[in-house]
Amino acid sequence: MAPPGAQRRDERPQSIADRVSALAKTAQFYWWTGHVVMLMFGTLYYVKRPFGWQAANWYYSKAYLGALLSYVIVIYKTYGPPQLNLAFFHRLMMDENFEYLMLAFYWLSQPAMVVTLLPFVVFSLFHVLKYTRTTVIPIFAPNVTAEVERANRAGPQAANLSVAAKISKFLGAWSSEYYIPALCQVSVWEVAVIGIWLVVGAVTFQTPLLAPLFYFQFLRMRYALSSSTRVAFRRVRSTLDGLLTPPTASASVPGVVTDSYIKVREYLVAMGTSIMTPSAQQQQQQQQQRR
C-alpha cells in the first residue's frame, strides 16, 4: 500500500466530464430526469392548451411518462424487485410514491383532463430545484456547498458570493419559503378542484364513470396518510358548510341540496376515518383539540 503522501500525489482532480459521467450512472439522475420531463412538458401543456387541446395533448402524455419514470425508480430503489406476497403489497399501498405512480398511470390511460396535471408539475418543480441545488450545481462548481454554508454562518456580513453560490442560495431560500404553502394549495386542489371536476364530468358523461370512484379511493388513502390532505378536507368542508348549511347558507339554497350535502359529507368523513391508523387518528384528535 502506498504511503498517504504518495497516494495524494497520484490522485488527480476529476474533470467536469468525469463528474457528469459518474452522475449519469446513478439511478437518482434518471429520477431527476423524469421530474424535468414532467416539469417541462407539463408547463408546455398549460401554455399550449389555450390554443387547442389536440396539440397540447402530446405534451400531456409526455409529461406523465416523465412522472412514471421518476416514481418507478424511487419505488424500485425503496423496495427492490416486486414480490408476490401480501406484506409487500401492503407496504406499497402505504407508500405515497406508489399512490402517485398508480394515479399517474391512470391519468395517462384516460383522455386528457386539464386539472389533473398541476399537482405533478408542482411536485416536480421542487424536486428539480432541490436536486439541481444539491447535486447538479456542485458538478460544475465543487466548492459551492461550502461557500453557501460559510455565507449562511456569516449572515448579512457575508462576502461576495460566486454566481453558482448565489443561484444555489436563492434556490434553497425560495424552496424553503414556498414548499409548504405550495403543498397545502396542491392538497386543496386535489380535494376540491379535481374531485368536483370528476364528479361533474361523470354526471354529464364527459369523463368515465369509474374515474371519480378510482380517484376517491386515492383521496381516501391520502386522507389516512397525509396531514396536508386532512387539512385540505377541513378547509373545503368549512367553505362548503358556510355556503350550504344554516345559519350561514343563503336562503336561496334548496333544502334538498343542504340535506344531500350533509349526507355526502358525513359519508366521506366516515369513509376516511375508517382506514386511518391509530397513530393518524391520535394525531387528528390532537389537531382538533387545538382548534
Q: Is the pLDDT of residue 144 over 90?
A: no
Give the model confidence (pLDDT) of 267-277 as tens digits: 777 776 666 65
> Are residues 127 and 239 part of one domain?
no
Question: How many CB atoms neighbour CB 289 within 10 A?
Answer: 7
pLDDT at 36: 98
Q: Does some domain include residue 208?
A: yes
Q: Is the pLDDT of residue 285 over 50?
A: no
Q: Which three cell numbers stand for residue 41?
A: 412538458
Per the document, the length of the chain is 291
pLDDT at 274: 67
pLDDT at 254: 85
Amino acid at 150: R
State whether residue 188 is helix, strand or coil.
helix
* Cα distance between residue 230 and residue 251, in whole Å: 30
145 compared with 101, residue with greater pLDDT? 101
Q: Is the pLDDT of residue 8 over 60?
A: no
Q: Which of 79, 69, 80, 41 is nearest to 57 (CA)?
A: 41
Q: Does some domain include residue 46?
A: yes
Q: Which three cell numbers stand for residue 29?
A: 439522475
pLDDT at 13: 67
Q: Is the pLDDT of residue 159 over 80?
A: no
pLDDT at 44: 96
Give Cα 74 distance to the centre of its chain: 13
Q: Is the pLDDT of residue 6 over 50?
A: no
Contact 257, 240 (CB under 8 A): no
Which domain, by its residues, includes 278? Answer: 179-291
Q: Does some domain include residue 236?
A: yes
Question: How many CB atoms neighbour CB 51 within 10 A?
Answer: 9
257 compared with 190, residue with greater pLDDT? 190
Q: Is the pLDDT of residue 148 over 50?
A: yes
Give the model confidence (pLDDT) of 73-99 as tens digits: 999 999 999 888 888 888 998 899 999
pLDDT at 118: 96
Which of 85, 119, 140 is the C-terminal boundary of a domain? 140
Please state, for a pLDDT cut of 90, what percent of the chain lies above it: 47
pLDDT at 150: 82
Name the domain count of the chain: 2
Q: Does some domain include residue 153?
A: no
290 compared with 75, residue with greater pLDDT? 75
Question: Omega before 82 cis (within 30°)?
Answer: no
234 compared with 70, residue with greater pLDDT? 70
The conformational region for residue 28 under phi > 0 = left, psi -120 to 50 = alpha, else beta, is: alpha
Query: Residue 208 — φ and ψ, nearest 5°?
Result: -60, 145
The mean pLDDT of the chain is: 85
pLDDT at 249: 81
Which of 140, 165, 198 is the C-terminal boundary of a domain? 140
Q: Does some domain include residue 14?
A: no
Q: Does some domain include residue 102?
A: yes
Q: Does some domain include residue 211?
A: yes
* Cα distance between residue 52 and residue 128, in whole Å: 28
Burial of 120 (0-12, 13-18, 19+ CB in 10 A): buried
Question: How many CB atoms neighbour CB 64 within 10 A?
Answer: 26
Contact 212, 206 (CB under 8 A): no
Q: Is the pLDDT of residue 7 over 60?
A: no
Helix intervals (H) in 155-254: 163-188, 195-203, 210-225, 227-244
Contact 155, 161 (CB under 8 A): no
pLDDT at 60: 96
Average pLDDT over residues 5-31: 78
Q: Does some domain include residue 257?
A: yes
Q: Is the pLDDT of residue 283 over 50?
A: no
> Are residues 85 and 29 part of one domain?
yes
Give the model confidence (pLDDT) of 164-179 as tens digits: 988 999 999 999 999 9
pLDDT at 276: 60
pLDDT at 266: 83
